Structure 1
Amino acid sequence: MSRAAVRSDVSIAIAVWKALFLREASARLATGRAAWLWILLEPAAHIIFLMVLFGVIRHQVMQGANIEVFVLVGIWGFFLVRNIAQRGMEAISANQALFSYRQVQPVDTVLVRATVEAFLYLVVGAILLTALAMLDIDVRPADPLLVMWAAFLLWAFGLGLGLTFSVVGSLLPELGKVIRLSFTPLYFLSAVMYSVSSLPQGMRSTVLVNPITHGLEAMRSGWFASYRGEAHISLGYLAFWALATVFLGLALHMRYATRLTAQ
């Protein structure tokens, strides 16, 4: 293949991604009169509820971190993974009409949806942190690079789940319903509202099987210099699952590309 042909393929892919990004962002924010407001209010409502719920046992929950940012990090990280996975799963069916264009592939829609969600949640996180800062709460991270690296790996894991679930959900719609329901218990098993080190040893090992837990606890360790989380937290473990799910999802898209476009 000539260099010119490679450039042409790349330029076509970039053009498709740009168009899909604008389409997805517009659809995400214009599905209802207050769609953009709900994106912000959903995590904010969870944060306020958990702050009230755990405010009375602040010292047992926090271990060297203020409760507001502690909860925000947990909610933000989990919702990032959940929304990318769930919206990625719905990407193919929502964009089925576009597959009549040869340039648009099912995998493109999932990749773009994951990018849109990342952009939206960066904005949501910035707004919520600004609101806490206006209440005289220290929101400065102690190790910004660790926070960003953990957040990126959470995004990558969500992308991998989205790629995998998009194929599974399209070929086996019944499993798609089960996948959506599974995120409810996962919410309580991801250290969203507690420190892993505060759990009994048996429960601790169970929670640590979940890769999301490692990402959230690593973000907290990077945010609070005095935070002492679980010693067995490993971003390498999260990175392994992120890579594994991304490669699995891409392999499934390659294997079932014809069936996905013909659904």
Structure 2
Amino acid sequence: MTDVGYLTTHFRVVGALLVREMATRFGSKPGGYVWALLDPAAHILLMTVIFQAIARAPALGTSFALFFATGYIAFQFYQAMTGYLNAAVKANKALLSYPNVAPIDTIVARFVLQMGTTSLVAFIVLGTIVATMRVDTDIHWPSILEAVGLACLFGLGVAMVNCVLFLKYPLYEQVFSIVNRPLFLISGVFFLPDSIPAPYRDLVLINPLVHVIMGFRKGFYPEYRAIGLDMDYLYGIAFLTLFAGMLVFTLSRKTLRNE
């Protein structure tokens, strides 16, 4: 089979897996997609109500809803991606008995579906918040898209490593879950890293997700200086993690198919 033939087969398999994943995750009724929107909206609403009750103004801008939405949704481009892709191979194990279905196909299908889902949710939620604000918001799309792209690539790399390690070492899955859980609290969803005094700020800035959220927020707050934001560091971490994920995944193809 030629390279074009392999590529055509790959796209067909990914397309079929994508349809299967959509049916499995959301069902055949439109109501299944509503829950994908209600979950982040409920989290943002809850955070807005709580912090409005204990603070006079958000750490940035005038809208509590926009501040928390930009933090929460930016974080979800990583968190939802890894959470969904971690089990991509395990959930489609029966399909790997077919020679045309490769482990990477399951990853690509879930990556496309999750990125599309989170992007749609982000567009609806943030669009609704911005549309209901009394002041005009100057949105800088390059900063937003750059942060989203790097968050997704970082999540993809982490998930590819996890797909292999979860199969080989079941204990690692529990360890990863424990370590990954506090990230929501220390990645800048609720606060601005700029406001943390040194040397603690330097420790917080080691977390690449902090830079994702800072970069994402710059797209909504032109006045935000984002002190400490290092896009070169974020690019390096994202592509290094993606390379490691691809390397581990490629070297473990037989394990993924036969484990």
Query: Is the CA contact 1:168–1:175 (under 8 Å) kept in the aligned structure 2?
Result: yes
C-alpha displacement of 1:203:
2.3
- For the pair 1:156 / 2:153, whether they are aligned, the reply is yes
Work out the CA distance in 2 between the residues paired with 1:89 and 1:173: 13
How far has the Cα of 1:180 moved from its partner?
Answer: 2.1
2:170 is the counterpart of 1:173: yes
Equivalent residue, structure 1, for 2:228: 232
TM-score, normalisation: structure 1? 0.90
Structure 2 gap ranges (5+): none
Offset at residue 127 of structure 1 (A) = 1.6
Q: 1:14 aligns with which of 11, 15, 21?
A: 11
CA–CA distance in 2 between the matches of 1:262 and 1:91? Answer: 15
CA RMSD between the two structures: 2.1
Residue by residue over 1:214-263, the C-alpha shift from the partner in whole angstroms, topping out at 9 and shown as x without a partner, is: 0110111122111232x221122111111111111111111111111012
Name the residue aligned to 1:112: 109
Q: Deviations over 1:7-30 (max 9, x none)?
A: 111111111111111111221212
How big is the shift at 1:131? 2.6
What is residue 26 of structure 2 aligned with on the other side?
Answer: 29
Aligned amino acid, residue 116 of structure 1: L
Gap change, CA 1:167 and 1:29, over 3 Å in 2 = same
**In 2, Cα distance between equivalents of 1:150 and 1:42:** 22
- When residues 79 and 138 of structure 1 are mapped into structure 2, their CA distance, relative to the original with a 3 A threshold, is farther
Contact 1:88–1:159 under 8 Å retained in 2 = yes
What secondary structure sits across from 1:243 in the alignment?
A: helix
Q: What is aligned with 1:57?
A: 55
TM-score by length of 2: 0.92
State how far apart, in whole Å, the 1-side matches of 2:232 and 2:62 are: 24
Distance 2:136 2:45 in 1: 16
User: Partner letter of residue 144 of structure 2?
Assistant: V
CA displacement at 1:188 relative to structure 2:
0.8
Contact 2:138–2:220 (Cα < 8 Å) also in 1: yes
- Of 236, 239, 245, the residue aligned with 1:243 is 239
